[in-house]
Amino acid sequence: SLCRPMYYSYPEKNEAYEYKQQYMFGDNVLVATVCQPVDTLSGVAARDVWFPAGNDWYDMAHLQMIKGGSKKTLHYTIGENCWFVMAGAILPLAQEGIQSLQDKTNALRIYVAPGKGRSTYRHYEDDGVSQAYDTDYAVTDITKNATSSSCTVSVAARKGSYKGIDPQRDLTIVLGGLDRKPASAKMGTAELEVAYDPETKEASVKLP
């Protein structure tokens, strides 16, 4: 299933059973529910979170990396969500400003979480209507390699097809956890424009 209790992934860890109000959303996202009312003075609510060892986790609300194998008490406002991305993971995002996930769109944003090393992701898509999801579909393989000074993202050619597939695609790469705007972005030898948001610590590059 898409949402899984922690003990599915970490069956031998006591914390996987003790921290009942957190779960895995897919393979790379850790989510915790905030069930406490906010403090009337500070305007925030406390939440205890367990971060499994083996990798670090990027806090999408507070924009900070948290060490795996630790336990933290974090605080959230009513407008913040308690979720964390595995360091270096690649996630698909909808286009900005989308109102309904049922609306067809050819825009795709690929979010790359901060973290060194190599990561892979296979993007699956179908017509979203029929039951032919196991025969009529397309996949796109995406890899990233990151060092302390650079990040290379490779997007392979889309394989497969389905009814109504659009041959063109609006693709944007979003790099998270950056304290400053990257010096440059290139596709081959061509220079690409980089947009940077200091509030979200994200740089985005739209591919031609």
- E-assigned strands of the chain? 3-5, 22-25, 29-32, 45-51, 57-59, 64-66, 70-76, 83-86, 90-93, 107-112, 117-125, 138-146, 151-155, 159-160, 170-175, 186-187, 190-191, 195-197, 202-206
| pLDDT recorded at residue 56 | 97
Sign of the torsion angle spanned by Cα atoms 99, 177, 107, 23: negative
Task: Identify the bridge partners of residue 125 per DSSP, sorted by sequence position.
Answer: 138
DSSP 8: H
Which pair of structure tokens corresponds to residue 192? 């690409």
pLDDT tens track for 106-116: 889 999 999 99
Q: Which residues of the chain carry a pLDDT beneath 50?
A: none
pLDDT for 104 equals: 76
pLDDT value of position 47: 95
Q: Write out pLDDT tens, residues 43-57.
A: 999 999 999 999 999
Buried b (16+ CB within 10 A) or exposed e, 31-57: bbebeeeeeeeeebbebebbbbeebbb
Sign of the dihedral through C-alpha 195, 78, 99, 27: positive
Pairing of strands 90-93, 3-5: unpaired
Query: Shortest CA distance to 173 belongs to which of 199, 151, 148?
Result: 151
Give the pLDDT score at 106.
84
Q: DSSP for 136-164, please give it.
A: S-EEEEEEEEE-SS-EEEEEPPPEE--TT
pLDDT value of residue 102: 76
What is the reported pLDDT for 100? 80
Res 94: pLDDT? 87
Q: Structure tokens of 71?
A: 């336990």
Q: What is the reported pLDDT for 101?
A: 74
